[in-house]
Structure 1
Amino acid sequence: MAQLTDEQLANIAHDFYLSQLNIADISQKYDLSRYLIAKALEEARNRGIVKIKISRGIKRNQVLEREFQKRFRLKEAFIVKTTGNRDENSEAVVNFAAKQIETYLKQAKIAGISWGATMHGVINNFFEQDLEQLYFIQLLGQPINSNRRKNPLAQDAAEKLHSNSLSLPTPLYILNPKIMPALKHEPYFKVIENCYHHLDMLFTGLSTFQSFQANQFLKENYGPELFKGIPDCDVAGMIMGRPYNIKGEFFPDFEQHICGISMNDIMKTPIRFCVVRNRFKSEALLGALRSGIITHLVTNDAIAQRVLQNID
């Protein structure tokens, strides 16, 4: 099938899988034999142009959901049941989170999104649709030395849902005390800060102190100043760039170094989704839940049980 380009293969696959034309109709449309159309569909799958995914029904643990809502004063808790396969469990969380977040996005005008592999997974699971009224806003500057993605996730989300986006082309942390006040006087920052004041919702994942240290540049150049006087063992987790302890208390000196949304604007946002799919983040989740920063949680019952065990 070397004579057909990726675009031609994609068009044929679109007609067959989405427009539901039969092979005879597609054969006539493109003036190709039925055999070549069948081969084109096979080639589209082999090249990754077509990805077939069979979704099984996701079951939820309603007992744990009610307990988490009551114990941590959540507006909603979505706790999916695990199946035994770690990869399937992880995919089930992001898939379910994408569906729940999409429901709220349809009613929103401005939505904020942070960085992270979990957020990337959520966006990949969005169902492509037109939400032209919606703006995705990048909540934080980019972690330096994190060059695996070409685009901010806000832009990726906007492209998936045919909406709009505003990025924040700055580093995540700034050490020089003169830069942040000056930056806030820049016209572009004033625009994006106004969006922070009027967010309808935001969604984020969690990170750990270990993930911060794994970024060699951040560890060597920012770590000594940012974590001065903070014992490593006191950091239970990090959310939207901010570390906190197991009691849910944020370290106050960090706020002056964050380039992006303020804690005040975060707490004013009425819908704050947090998605956790990694069982090693149970302590991070417990601290975040105790802080009150989360209003809507998506995770699985294995992680939820570990959170409850950490309380004990």
Structure 2
Amino acid sequence: MENKLISQLTTIAELYYMQGLTQQEISKRVHIHRSEISRLLKEARKLGLVQITVNSNVQSLNSLQDFLIKKFNLKDALVVPENTESLDLQMLGEFAAQYLSKKITNNSVIGVSWGRSLAHTIQSMPDQSQRRGITVVPLIGGPAGRLKNDYQSNKLVYILAERLNAKGESLNCPALVSSKALKSELTSNPNIQVVLNYWEDLDYALVGIGSNAITNLTQWKEFYKNSDFTNLLKKTNAVGDILSRPYTQDGKIIKSSKLNVIGLDLNSLKKVPNVVGIACGKNKVRSILGALNTGVLNVLITTDITALGIKSLCTSESQM
């Protein structure tokens, strides 16, 4: 085989597996069509240029999945083996995408939130052009400040709709506004009402899980600037949020008259038949536990290390 081809395969494999770039991002960088990137990655694995080590301790993963399902009355759980040296959101996204691609059916209405784990999942979704009658909608408005475009709900809706041969709707308003009057004015707009009406008929909701441990990061400060969200987290025992709705570790949903969110509220989210939470990381163990305790989620996709952290917290609480 020509050295030029081997060099190309190695470069693409390094970008995908070591740097965590999506196939679309690699396509733009090396100027090769996305479908060709997928083929080249398969070729690299076939030739042994890429060797993937799989955690063979399936019994341990199954045990964690069973624990989560029984403890929190879930429909299902997917626990992904995690590289102990690094948190690979790309791998989590690939497992989650494969799981969802088998579950989502024709004529479904799918709601999408925002965040990094969810972005990796949706960007990893395989093309399913044979699907029919699916509609994808945002579950929350956009950021008033700066947030990486790839993580925003409207962008994720666009990508997922393209992969599922689906109709996509956008929600062109801020997630957080300054007053109830402004929220009322925006949500009465006919274009926004189209999306809000879909919220009544959701079959699936795909949500990320936020953590109060990461709100000091610049990108999240920008997202929540000029809102009462950060102050609310500091004044309460909030450990995390779903759709910018904070809650405590024991699952109590925190409400505030100063927090005006244009997004689906958590009590309405509970009514959706399939609410899939996708999140992992040591800094999110408490926030994921809180999310599970709210009763909002009925499917959780996370890593084994995160699941072990959740189980450890549950054991500690039971011994108190």
TM-score where L is the length of structure 2: 0.76
Q: State whether structure 2 residue 155 is matched by structure 1 residue 137.
A: no
Aligned residue type for 2:266: M
**Structure having the higher Rg:** 1
Aligned residue type for 1:80: V
1:268 counterpart SS class:
coil
Post-superposition shift, 1:42? Answer: 7.1
Match of 1:236 among 234, 239, 244: 239
2:100 counterpart residue number: 101
Structure 1 distance, partners of 2:84, 2:212, is 28
Q: How does 1:240-279 map to 2 (within 5 A)?
A: 240-253=243-256, 257-279=260-282
Post-superposition shift, 1:230? Answer: 5.0
Structure 2 distance, partners of 1:230, 1:199, is 29
Per-residue deviation, residues 134-188 of structure 1 (Å, max 9, x unmatched): 1111110112223432762101111222222111111111122211222232211
Structure 1: tracts of 5 or more residues without a match: 1-34
Length, aligned pairs only: 274
Q: Mean alpha-carbon deviation: is it higher for 92-101 or for 166-175?
A: 92-101
Q: 1:199 to 1:103 in 2, by over 3 A?
A: same
Per-residue deviation, residues 101-129 of structure 1 (Å, max 9, x unmatched): 11222345210111111111001211112
Match of 2:164 among 161, 164, 168: 161
Aligned residue type for 1:81: P
2:277 counterpart SS class:
strand
Contact kept? 1:276, 1:285, Cα under 8 Å: yes
Contact kept? 1:226, 1:254, Cα under 8 Å: no
1:191 counterpart residue number: 194
Structure 1 distance, partners of 2:229, 2:170, is 24
1:12 counterpart residue number: none
Per-residue deviation, residues 239-271 of structure 1 (Å, max 9, x unmatched): 111111111111112696110223343111000
Aligned residue type for 1:129: Q
Q: How does 1:1-312 map to 2 (within 5 A)?
A: 47=30, 49=32, 50-51=37-38, 52=41, 54=45, 60=58, 61-88=61-88, 90-130=89-129, 131-149=131-149, 152-214=155-217, 215-222=220-227, 225-228=228-231, 231=234, 234-253=237-256, 257-311=260-314, 312=316
Aligned residue type for 1:286: L
Q: Mean alpha-carbon deviation: is it higher for 230-239 or for 93-102?
A: 230-239
Q: Percent identity?
A: 21
2:275 counterpart SS class:
strand
Contact kept? 2:213, 2:283, Cα under 8 Å: no
Aligned residue type for 1:78: L
Structure 2 distance, partners of 1:85, 1:230, is 30
Post-superposition shift, 1:309? Answer: 1.7
TM-score where L is the length of structure 1: 0.78
Q: 1:165 to 1:125 in 2, by over 3 A?
A: same
1:32 counterpart residue number: none
Aligned residue type for 1:259: I
Root mean square deviation of aligned Cα: 2.8
Structure 2: tracts of 5 or more residues without a match: 13-29, 46-51
Structure 1 distance, partners of 2:65, 2:172, is 38
Q: 1:42 to 1:98 in 2, by over 3 A?
A: same
